[in-house]
Amino acid sequence: MNDTLRSIDLYKAVSREFPTTPYGLNARYKIAMYYRSNSMHDSARKEFEILSSISQDNDLAAESLYRIGELWMRDTAWDKAIETFLIVKDKYPNVEVWFPLSLLNLGEAYEKKGENDSAIDIYKALTAINPDDDYGRTARNRLKNLTKTK
């Protein structure tokens, strides 16, 4: 554990000293993922929020926002998750991985809130955008399950 904590301290120093460089961004990402994997959700969200606001890399910014939403989902904070996934939906529609993942999670958050009509709309949009990949197939299956219960 001491080596891990020393590494985190070094990553923090690099992220403070060189915040917007690739090294600084990578260090902050490693810190955020460490917090995430150790269920330190508030700390992880804070690091991902910083990444999403300072990164010029759309993939990293979109992933950071996705991870924030994912952590809100783990905390069953559906409204905050929805708010975060909507940012990815609106701001990063061309980011190949994090956009469809955010839509899937957005639909799931709507389902958890009992807002099935909103979930259906999201799943329909995702199946239209990505009909033949895993995201589209997952959305189609969720759509079938939701329309069965209507």
What's the confidence (pLDDT) of residue 105?
98
* Interval 110-122: pLDDT, tens: 999 999 999 999 9
Q: Domain 77-150 maps to which CATH number in 2.60.120.580, 3.20.20.70, 1.25.40.10, 3.40.50.180?
A: 1.25.40.10
Whether residue 102 contacts residue 69, with contact meaning beta carbons closer than 8 Å, is answered with yes
Show the tokens assigned to 11: 């990553």
Give pTM, 2 decimals.
Answer: 0.94
In the chain, the amino acid numbered 60 is L
* pLDDT at residue 148, as a whole number: 86
How far is the C-alpha of 36 from the C-alpha of 66, rounded, in Å? Answer: 13
Q: What is the pLDDT of residue 2?
A: 87
Q: Where in the chain are the domains?
A: 1-56, 77-150
pLDDT tens digits, one per residue of 44-101: 999 999 999 999 999 999 999 999 999 999 999 999 999 999 999 999 999 999 999 9
Q: Which of 113, 114, 106 is nearest to 138 (CA)?
A: 106
On the question of pLDDT at 149 being above 90, the answer is: no
